[in-house]
Every structure is written in structure tokens, then in C-alpha cells.
Chain A
Amino acid sequence: MVQINLPANSKVQKGEYYKDKTGSKNIRKVNVYRWDPSKNENPRIDTYEVDMDNCPSKVLDILNKIKNELDPSLAYRRSCAHGVCGSCAMNMNGKNGLACTKAHSELDGDINIYPLPHLKVLKDLIGDLSTLYKQYESVEPWLKTSKKNMDSENLQSVKDRAKLDGLYECIMCACCSTSCPSYWWNGDKYLGPAVLLQAYRWIIDSRDEERKERLKKVADELKLYRCHTILNCTNACPKDLNPAKAIAEIKKMLATT
């Protein structure tokens, strides 16, 4: 249900202030969401003064710098640092994105870093995505074919292959799903843009033989039609994909078949 306010245990408090010790003239304030599961406290916002003269270009570099030089207790997910793994998805200045591809020069003023919205926080910037992964599993994201013991490749035409462009690139970083108000209010039932884009990726694959069953499975008031084309998903996608359009295509297929 729609719950605008945060629950009492999630209200954010003011945290510690880490003053710059390098004496740099190029300082930027970075506010970071912190929550420590080992303490019985509310989440807080810690502020770090970061020396930007000695910091590479991306937001992830700022976090690395904070962790290495200012506060080693900061927890966040990161792996490839090249926008491929989707680990460092977070909310930066009010918009979801990958910290490793987002240049801090694109952000105005003080930098505010939060975990992905409306998730149960595990620690600091790490949100619990297990619901999303379960939903992903529910669309059975693998090729279903009756062909057995094939001795040649399962080919598709160039045209059919082109239909997967803009879908197969999805890295499941969850930027889109966690930007979606519908997913915030109905995340347990509505599949959300990331999973629906994946569902569409298999529905539209010419080699898949269970298109009808797949369509039938997502054709549900809550699973699919909670999408009200708010388009926060497309706005958030760090890979410039269009989950909103993929969902619209599923709706269109259901309306026309």
C-alpha cells in the first residue's frame, strides 16, 4: 500500500561530520546514508569533506576515497567499476544510477548518496534485493525449446536478433525497479520494470517456444498492469534502456493477440 512516510525505525538522523584534514582548497561535501545493523540506532547521514583535487572522476571514486582515507566502516557494493556488473547501483542526488559510471561533475552542489529507494537496508548503502531476484526467477529467464540433441546452432534471423537489442544489455542493477513508485507501493506483487523487461526479452525471442505461456503468466492486474507509465524507470536506467517501452510492448501484445 501507499505509505508516504518512513516507518519510525527508518527516520534518518543527522550523523557525524568528517572534517577535511588535507587542507585542500577544492572541497566537496558528501552526505552518505549510514546504518549499522550491529547497533540499535536509526539510520543517519554522515557528512564527509572530500578533497576533490586528488579524486578521480566518478562517484564511486569518491566512495572509495572515503573508505580508504576517511572512514573504513562505510559499506557499499562494487565490483567491476565499468558499468557492467550493476553492483554499485545507488541513489545519487535524487536519481538512481551506477556510481561507477556517474561522473561527480554532473551532480550539482553537495552530493547526497542513499541506497536504492524503498528497500530493506542491510548495511549503509546496501539494500536487500532478494524479492527482486525471486521475481526474476518467477519469469523463468532461460530459453525454452523442445529441440533436443541439436547438432547445430539454434539460429535466428538478423531481424529477429535485432528485436533483442535494448533488452539483452540489461545488467539487473535494479536502478529502474527501485525508482518506480508503483514498485515502492506494490513491490511484493508488481514485478517491476527490471523483471518485466527481462520477461519481454524472452517473450520476444524467436527461438523461445513458450511465448503464449509466458504472456499468460505476466498478464495480471498486479504483476503487469501496475505500470502507469510514470517513466521513472527509463529516466533512471544507467544503460539507456527503455523498460517502460518493453512493458508497453507486453501490454500491446496482450491486447492484440
Chain B
Amino acid sequence: MENKNPLSPHIQIYNWHVSSLVSISHRITGIINILAITLICLWISSLFLGETNYKYTSLFLNSFFGKFLIVGIIWSFSFQILSEVRHLIMDLGYGFELKTTKITGFLVIFGSFGLTVLIYLIGRNLI
């Protein structure tokens, strides 16, 4: 017999913690990265088709939206890398104390933005 009792509210009412936020972002950035790598592969493949293709792509990437996309992908990769390091440390059994998880969580969040800026500056030959 099907249970007709209602289901108690879950994600609608549950508070977000730093750790849960980092965890879900880790998953989302992972999917974004797979798509991004596929796009980068397609972009490089398109070079084989001739100069015009390259020009179109380069025009797109230099547009505002293109730049936004690039910076977004850099952030997504930065987040994934830092979060992955956090996960690796946790897999070794360290960093499970509540305070530590909070600190490392914040490190991942703010670090991802810092790393994005750093990579952008290096990419632009500004440092």
C-alpha cells in the first residue's frame, strides 16, 4: 500500500552551512568543467577548418560575453582544484572538526576568487 502521509519539508527549510555550500558548488563546477573542456576541445578542433573559423572564435571570445565566459571557467576550475585538495585531505581523515571544516570551506570560497584574479593577471601578462 502506498504511504499517503506527507513528506516533511527538507531542502526548503534546512539552513545552509559553509560545508554544504562548498559541497554542492564542487558538484556544479565539476559539471561546468566537463562542458568547458568539451568546448575547448571543439574550439581547438575548429582551428583545423581554417582561418575564418579561428577569427570567428576569437571575435566571440573577445566580446564581453566571451570574456565573461572565460573568467567564469577560470573561476570554476580554480574552485574545483581547491575544493578537490580539501577533499583529498579529508580522504586522509584530517580536517573533520567543525571549526576546521568552516575555515577550509571559506579558504576554498575566497581562494577560488583569488586564484581567478591571479590566473587572469598571469594570462594577461600583467604580472
Contact A94 B8 (CB under 8 A): no
Contact B9 A114 (CB under 8 A): yes
A251 at the A/B interface (Cβ < 8 Å)? yes
Known: A121-B8, A252-B91. A234 touches B98 (CB 8 A): yes
Contact A121 B14 (CB under 8 A): no
CB neighbors of B among A217-242 (8 A): 228-232, 234-235, 242
Which secondary structure dominates where chain B touches chain A? loop
Report the minimum CB–CB distance from A228 to chain B (whole Å).
6
Q: How far is the CA of A90 from the CA of B27 in the complex (A)?
A: 28
Q: How far is the CA of A245 from the CA of B13 in the complex (A)?
A: 25
User: Which residues of B have CB within 8 Å of A94?
Assistant: 13-15
Given A229, A232, A244, which contacts B14 in the complex, CB threshold below 8 Å?
Answer: A232
CB neighbors of A among B80-102 (8 A): 87, 90-93, 96-98, 101
User: Which of B4, B8, B13, B24 is most buried by chain A, counting CB atoms within 10 A of its CB?
Assistant: B8
B52 at the A/B interface (Cβ < 8 Å)? no
Question: Which residue on A lies nearest to B105, using beta carbons?
Answer: A231
Question: Which residue on B lies nearest to A93, using beta carbons?
Answer: B15
CB neighbors of B among A22-44 (8 A): 33, 35, 37, 42-43
Contact B91 A230 (CB under 8 A): no
Contact B23 A230 (CB under 8 A): yes
User: Which residues of A have CB within 8 Å of B87?
Assistant: 229
User: Which residues of A have CB within 8 Å of B91?
Assistant: 248, 251-252, 255
Contact B8 A114 (CB under 8 A): yes
A57 at the A/B interface (Cβ < 8 Å)? no
Report the minimum CB–CB distance from B89 to chain A (whole Å).
10
Q: How far is the CA of A125 from the CA of B69 in the complex (A)?
A: 47
Contact B93 A35 (CB under 8 A): no
B20 at the A/B interface (Cβ < 8 Å)? yes
Known: A119-B7, A121-B7, A245-B96. A114 touches B13 (CB 8 A): yes
Question: Which residue on B lies nearest to A255, using beta carbons?
Answer: B91
Q: How far is the CA of A234 from the CA of B90 in the complex (A)?
A: 14
A161 at the A/B interface (Cβ < 8 Å)? no
B124 at the A/B interface (Cβ < 8 Å)? no
User: Which residues of A have CB within 8 Å of B50?
Assistant: none
A118 at the A/B interface (Cβ < 8 Å)? yes
Further pairs besides A248-B90, A248-B91: 17, Cβ < 8 Å: A6-B9, A33-B9, A43-B6, A94-B14, A95-B14, A95-B15, A114-B9, A119-B7, A119-B8, A179-B14, A228-B23, A229-B90, A232-B20, A242-B96, A242-B97, A244-B96, A249-B93
Interface on A for B, CB 8 Å cutoff? 4, 6-7, 9-10, 12, 33, 35, 37, 42-43, 91, 93-95, 112, 114-122, 127-128, 179, 181, 184, 228-232, 234-235, 242, 244-245, 248-249, 251-252, 255
- In order of increasing CB-CB distance, the 5 nearest A-B pairs are A94-B15, A231-B19, A10-B6, A117-B10, A245-B96
Can you name 16 A-B residue pairings with CB atoms under 8 Å?
A9-B4, A35-B6, A43-B6, A91-B8, A91-B13, A117-B8, A117-B14, A120-B5, A120-B8, A128-B5, A231-B20, A231-B96, A232-B14, A232-B20, A244-B96, A252-B92
